[in-house]
Structure 1
Amino acid sequence: MTADPVVDCAIYVDGVRDPQAYGYADALAKVRETGEGFVWLGVHAPDTLQMTDIASVFGLHELAVEDAVVAHQRPKLEMYGETLFMVLRTVAYVDHDSLASTAEVVSTGEIMVFLGEDYVITVRHGEQTELASMRHRLEENPTALAIGPSVVLHAVADRVVDAYLVVAEELDTDVVEIEQAVFGGAVVDIDPVYLLRREVIEFRRACTPLTIPLQRLTMPNPWLPDEVRTYFRDVSDHLTTVNDRVMDYDNLLSSMLDSAAAKVGIQQNTDMRKITAWAAMAAAPTMIAGIYGMNFKHMPELDWHYGYFVILGIMVAICALLWRNFRKHGWL
């Protein structure tokens, strides 16, 4: 049996939560009957049937409903009739001992918000997208909630962007670790550089596309009161800070990736020169041994009393001469 996706549903009148428990259909009916307050419905990972039932009660557009079920959407802001639909990507930092011992640095999820005149619906996907603490904090400030459901949209956007700032701070430590590994050690492991750059790109995909939707919310529009738009400017400024830092990380990691690749190439060339030098020193004795291993009958030096010692001396002299030359030119 499919679990109930509804996490919380409540009516707020003058910013105060109605203590009575309601289903979302009854809650919306009461708000519209009395003409007071709004409904805040919180949903987590609904399936198609569950989201369709919610859509039929609140009159949500089918395209927005499809986005809310499928998830994996880019951050965006759209208007369907009288309903504002916003998608935000959430990001959380994954703790790890070192970049070499982890396969993930950031994890992502999504929050979709449906905003109407007398309701707000938050649809969450991912484990790091909980909004219960945010709801409790807003309930402690009824003056803010009394403004209307648009306050919830601002609180969600603010929470998401604040999480971006935390992740950006954590990534700074990883970038420094990578920088020390690339430029400080004799041996470079390029895999952590690829991993961190991939995770930074994932982070960038979450935060950068959110810029335009937030800018639209800061401009005069029929969806938000002026006082709420003022708060969205602050959120937009924070997002700009995050985008600048993520761009810096991306550029820095690209440079370090090139440097690491160059350093690996130099290491490989050095190793190849050493291998070539040792192979050359082994080639001369091998050639001489091969000649005397052909078992010819008429080899005058075979009958010479000192022949064995002379041949060994020649081998050693050739190897010593080659070693000296290779050492002189930095191959060994």
Structure 2
Amino acid sequence: MSMAGNLRKVTGLGRVGGLRKVARLARRRPRVDLSHHARSPLGTSVVNCVTYKEGARIPVDGDLVDTVERVRDSRDGFVWLGLHEPSDHEFEGIADLFDLHPLAVEDAVEAHQRPKVERYGETLFAVFKTVCYVEHEELTATSEVVNTGEIMVFVGEDFVITVRHGSHGSLGPLREELEADPAQLAKGPAAVLHAIADHVVDDYLSVTDAVQSDIDLVETAVFSESGARVDPGRIYQLKRELLELKRAVAPLGRPLEELSTRPIQVVAPEIQAYFRDVSDHLLRAKEQIAAFDELLNSILQAHLAQVTVAQNEDMRKITAWAAVIAVPTMVCGVYGMNFEHMPELHWKFGYPLVMGVIAAACGVLYRGFRRNGWL
């Protein structure tokens, strides 16, 4: 069979509509060893390409087209291709080979998508928002707490393509965990999709636990004796970061519901039960985020109340001291008018008497303010 014939068989393209696309693939067909993770058949964006059969990893020999051709000829197993932030040019050949829908390819390359699940013929396209907690020594008004990324997953009968965006969310450890459980991996590409969803949601729970520690620290600082001097920017920053986390977590509920309840060709009913478990974990994360948001609102209101109370305390002290100082100011102002005929101006004990009256009046006022808690 010719090269074009092989490629037509691999890509599933018809004689009329696919010969031009097949010829293009044949001309640029790469000859790269896919078993080496550092090398890429279509660019440096390819992280790994592995073939699985009955839950076991099979050594890869040849290029991507040969690998897919062997899997489809045997009608057993599947290919898992992992990419990281591919360009349009790098993804073009892969899209042709697996007959991916242009809209899904555009979403996978451009990123910045909401979590969703779309069906394009026999291919399922899923988008997950990944999150990670950013470690920091001290929370400030500009601290980054949550960092987000994306994982796009194409799932077919005999392939899984994962496209990752962001510096975190590596699927290497997840791949190793799946390979340690051949029985689960033998269930096919849908099992990989479930593992990715479960991995993403578990990260949500880990991040919410870490964010709770920051909220506890802010809460302790606000309700301490010096709570009025806490920078409110720290609270607002936590709310902003929590909003970013909420945008990643909340929209995933509907896609998981669809994966766990609606019949989908590439997701077997036995796998749907696993998605229901992931949905339960997601609900827990959403409830925690909602509770954190309410708690931060309460902390912010308590902080503003403390600031108001502190300001009232300061105003009462200022008012009390102003009242005390007003007594000598008034008396001295009267005697400073320099009229010739004023009482006690020529009396020997006039000055001591006036000073005594001033001191007594100030003492009475001071004692009254102290008793009422103004000073």
Measured against the shorter chain, the TM-score band is: 0.7 to 0.9
Per-residue deviation, 1:86 = 0.9
**Is contact 1:41–1:121 with CA below 8 Å preserved after alignment?**
yes
Specify whether residues 286 and 70 from structure 1 end up closer, same or farther in structure 2 by C-alpha distance, changes over 3 A only.
Answer: farther
The answer as to whether partners of 2:60 and 2:67 remain within 8 angstroms in 1 is no
What's the offset of the Cα at 1:196?
2.6
Give the deviation of 1:286 after TM superposition: 5.9
Q: CA deviation at 1:234?
A: 1.4
Aligned AA for 2:301?
D
CA distance in 1: counterparts of 2:127 and 2:74, whole angstroms = 30
In the alignment, structure 1 residue 217 sits paired with structure 2 residue 267: no
**Partner residue of 2:294 out of 239, 246, 251:** 251
- Tell which deviates more after alignment, 73-82 or 277-286: 277-286
Q: Is the 8 A contact 1:90 1:109 kept in 2?
A: yes
Question: How far apart in 1 are the matches of 2:186 and 2:273?
Answer: 17
- Name 1:8's counterpart in structure 2: 48
Point out which structure has higher relative CO (alpha carbons under 8 A, 6+ apart): 1
Find the structure with the greater CA-based Rg.
2
1:120-160 superposed Cα distances (whole Å, 9 cap, x missing partner): 11111222200011112222333322221111101101111
Q: In structure 2, what is the Cα distance between the partners aligned to 1:290 and 1:24?
A: 99
Counterpart CA distance in 1 for 2:266 and 2:340 is: 103
Unaligned segments of structure 2, at least 5 residues: 1-41
Query: Do residues 208 (structure 1) and 245 (structure 2) align?
Result: no
Q: Is the 8 A contact 2:136 2:143 kept in 1?
A: no
How many Å apart are 1:43 and its aligned residue? 0.9
The verdict on how the C-alpha distance between 1:275 and 1:298 changes in structure 2, with shifts beyond 3 A counting, is closer
Partner of 1:326 in structure 2?
369
The C-alpha deviation readout for 1:183-225, integer Å capped at 9, x for no partner, is 3434232333323333332222221211111111111322201
Alignment of 1:52-201 (within 5 A): 52-100=92-140, 103-188=143-228, 189=230, 190-201=232-243
| Structure-2-length-normalised TM-score | 0.76
Query: Partner amino acid for 1:245?
Result: Q
Q: What's the counterpart of residue 270 of structure 2?
A: 227
Q: Match of 2:32?
A: none
The 1:291–1:225 alpha-carbon spacing in structure 2 relative to 1, beyond 3 Å, is: same
Match of 2:311 in 1: 268
Which structure 1 segments of 5+ residues have no match? Answer: none
- Decide whether aligned partners of structure 1 residues 85 and 311 sit closer, same or farther in structure 2, where only a CA change above 3 A counts: farther
TM-superposed deviation, 1:255? 2.1
Q: Give the fraction of aligned pairs with identical amino acids, expressed as a percent.
A: 48
Cα separation, partners in 2 of 1:325 and 1:123, compared to 1, 3 Å = same
Residue 78 of structure 1 aligns with an amino acid whose one-letter code is: E
Change (3 A) 1:306 1:62: farther
The residue type equivalent to 2:101 in the other structure is H
Aligned CA distance change for structure 1 residues 144 and 314 (closer, same or farther; 3 Å): same
| Distance across 2 between alignment mates of 1:81 and 1:205 | 29
RMSD: 3.1
Aligned length: 329
